[in-house]
Amino acid sequence: MMEVEPTSYAEACKDPRWNQACNEELAALEENQTWEVVKLPEGKKAVGSKWVFKIKQKSDGTIERFKSRVVAKGYTQIYGIDFLDTYSPVAKINSVKTLLAVAASKDWHIHQMDVSNAFLHGDLEEEVYLEIPPGANVPRGQGLVYRLKKSLYGLKQASRQWFAKLTTALMKNGYSQTSSDYSMFVRWIQGRIVVVLVYVDDILIAGSYLGDIEQLKLFLGKEFKVKDLGQMSYFLGLEVLRDHKGISLSQKKYCLELITDAGYIEAKGCLSPVDCNLKLTATQGEALPDPTVYRRLIGKLHYLTITRPDITYAVQQLAQFQGTPTVEHLQAAHRVIRYLKHTPGQGLIFRTDSKLELSGFCDADWASCPDSRKSLTGYCTFLGTSLITWKTKKQTTVSRSSSEAEYRALAQVVCEVQWLGNLLLEMGVQVPLPIPLYCDNKSALHIAENPVFHERTKHIENDCHVTRERLKSGLIKLSHVRTDDQIADIFTKGVTRYRLKFLLNKLGVFNAYSPACGGYQSRKKTTDFQQSSAEGASLKIEEETFLPSPPSDV
């Protein structure tokens, strides 16, 4: 029988498992001295409270624990009275992938920790009162409320206060905050580096010496209530597998849940995510009666692009129509689902034999948007043979020529590799310069290299000329690549299934759950993926696996 999460405390208290979870939550809050019981002062207003229930699962779908939280109804807070600043940084997903690529190449240890009741560690600066939640051992109806001394989940400033407390603790232990990613902290110990990445209450610790990692764990255990999860295996829905060949990253469990929720578990698979002959427009088709279904699906697909560059272009195209989606837009989204059924275990690999050298590819599809005639930028970057970042984005202005569109795409990838170079440097990796960038438009390369082209480029914004400046400084080196070998082609247009196979091979995308085979070649394999739906049926698919080849082959 499939477990169902309760929606109210009255429903949860009938189940002894949830009742125990609520008691443990209240005990933890009391032990942490999160609040004190007081009479609500005259003229003050208490923030509402409620219970939130969640079944925490392991990567294999089994239940890990029943989790309950007392949360504040932050939407009732008043700016200037109950809260001031709210922003709190979290680790960039691209930083996570870059760290994994470096760790694979340098054979670093990567461990994971979870902070219990993380937000409760933050100290509140404002005077905040909270309504007493049901189940608390406090008389109700007597004007009593909680005065919060520590931050609580749901408060607008909760994440900021927790991050400030953690930052202070890490700096006290000798760590410094990086400028490339404020959620990354590094410390050098006798020539050895320890890297810490923070995503709210999930912490990654990487380093070459296991003793340094254990020392940090002991320190954090004294400062906060933490759980040592050991070697990294499941982080933010990302499944991590490691062997002597490298570190693989995928979202198989998340992908199968998405397919099941969409009702396509029994549908026929598809060999490509996009019909290359189809151009979607804002007005085609009949409007959907309930657009929230479409928006929810696009949100789930967007999260899947963390490890799936093959659907990035499709998701970008579909995301444009979330305002007023139509039946045709939904049909195109369902095609992506059918493609995912064909390749649910597909992901990335960061190889141990990959060199720590940056390179990038960029492409543009001129005036590709039929509604606005704006062009599309697509780029990807590699660390050796490991794909670490990629993007598909519509340009903000209309380009007058394909050369201009490609030049704007070049500017985007230049900024990306500059940021990556700085991030890697703060991780102790000196990237060889100049960084090679590949573009298939010779006119765009000439514009970047030759300032004589002023007449035809005087209308282009100054920030686009960052390419020319970085070229002069020696940061980058521009090279022409044949259109047939342009890897970034997959991020700017729909391609045929044969072209898709070729590009995925070059990108290094492969099935993380298939046994490796020798040589850079494709092969077919029938695999059973046990999906975690209520029916417990198995999904049997035939999928093609491609082992990566270095981008330098082009």
Q: Which helix (H) or strand (E) holds 512?
A: none
The pLDDT value recorded for residue 1 is: 55
Q: Which two tokens stand for residue 258?
A: 């998405």
Q: Which helix (H) or strand (E) holds 100?
A: helix 93-106
List, for residues 147-161, the tens digit of each pLDDT value. Answer: 988 888 888 888 888
CA-closest candidate to residue 204, choices 103, 120, 116:
103
Torsion of CA 310, 312, 317, 320, to 10 degrees: 160
Question: So where are the chain's domains?
Answer: 9-236
Distance CA 293, CA 452 (A): 52
Torsion of CA 436, 442, 448, 450, to 10 degrees: 120
CA-closest candidate to residue 385, choices 511, 252, 233, 510:
510
Instruction: Give pTM, 2 decimals.
Output: 0.83
Q: Which two tokens stand for residue 145?
A: 């409320």
- H helical segments located in 305-453: 312-319, 327-342, 402-426, 442-449
Q: Residue 370, Cβ neighbours under 10 Å: how many?
A: 12
List, for residues 77-107, the tens digit of each pLDDT value. Answer: 778 776 777 778 888 999 999 999 999 999 9
Contact 507/548 with Cβ under 8 angstroms?
A: yes
Beta pairing class for 234-235 and 226-231: unpaired
Phi, psi (deg, nearest 5) at residue 163: -65, -35
Q: Which two tokens stand for residue 29?
A: 């809050």
**Residues with pLDDT less than 50, the chain:** 516-554
Whose tokens are 């960061």? That residue is: 350
Phi, psi (deg, nearest 5) at residue 331: -65, -40
3 state DSSP class of 375? coil
Contact 290/371 with Cβ under 8 angstroms?
A: no
The residues with which 50 forms a beta bridge, in sequence order, are 71
Q: Which helix (H) or strand (E) holds 161?
A: helix 158-172
The pLDDT value recorded for residue 523 is: 33
The pLDDT value recorded for residue 122 is: 84
Question: What is the Rg, in whole angstroms, of the alpha carbon atoms belonging to the chain?
Answer: 26
The pLDDT value recorded for residue 458 is: 64
Contact 443/456 with Cβ under 8 angstroms?
A: no
The answer for residues whose C-beta is within 8 angstroms of residue 62's C-beta and 6 or more apart is none
Strands (DSSP E) contained in 429-496 are 435-439, 476-480
